[in-house]
Amino acid sequence: MQLLTTPPEDADALHAIYARTPREGMFFSGLMHRERFDIAGAWNEDWSCAAIAWQTGGAEEYALQGARAPLKLLSAGAVTLARGARYAYAALGETPFRSNMISFPHWITESAAKTALEDSGEHGRRLETRLIRPDAKLQALMDDIAQRTRAASASDHWHAEKCALLYAGLLDTQDARAAARDDITAVKASTRAELARRCGLAKEAMLQRYNEPELSLGDIAREARLSQYHLIRVFKTVTGATPMQFLSLVRMDAALRLLKETKRTTGDIAAAVGYSDRTAFFRAFRKTYGCAPSAAGRNK
pLDDT at 40 over 80: no
Does a structural domain hold residue 9?
yes
For residues 47 and 110, state if they share a domain: yes
Does a structural domain hold residue 168?
yes
pLDDT one-digit tens code per residue, 75-108: 999 999 999 999 999 999 999 999 999 999 999 9
Sheet-wide strand order for 130-132: 2-4, 26-32, 97-103, 51-56, 78-81, 130-132
pLDDT one-digit tens code per residue, 43-66: 788 889 999 999 999 999 999 999
pLDDT at 121 over 70: no
Q: Nearest to residue 247, comparing CAs of 280, 222, 211?
A: 211
Does a structural domain hold residue 43?
yes
Residue 153 is part of a domain; what is its CATH number? 2.60.120.810
**Mean pLDDT value across residues 132-154:** 96
Residue 247 is part of a domain; what is its CATH number? 1.10.10.60
How far is Cα of residue 256 from the mean position of the Cα atoms in its chain?
Answer: 15
pLDDT at 69 over 60: yes
Per-residue model confidence (pLDDT) at position 182:
87
Name the domain count of the chain: 2
Q: What is the mean pLDDT of the chain?
A: 93
Residue 265 has φ and ψ, to the nearest 5°, of: -75, 160
For residues 276 and 133, state if they share a domain: no
Does a structural domain hold residue 164?
yes
For residues 160 and 246, state if they share a domain: no
For residues 174 and 203, state if they share a domain: no
For residues 216 and 271, state if they share a domain: yes
Could you list the residue range(s) of the whole structural domain that residue 101 is in?
2-178
Q: Which of 141, 162, 178 is the last residue of a domain?
A: 178
d(CA 192, CA 40): 38
The confidence band for 168, taking pLDDT boundaries of 50, 70 and 90, is very high
**Mean pLDDT value across residues 250-258:** 97
pLDDT at 116 over 80: no
pLDDT at 35 over 90: yes
For residues 264 and 151, state if they share a domain: no
Does a structural domain hold residue 300?
no
Per-residue model confidence (pLDDT) at position 119:
59
**Mean pLDDT value across residues 115-131:** 74
Q: Which of 178, 200, 228 is the last residue of a domain?
A: 178
pLDDT at 111 over 70: yes
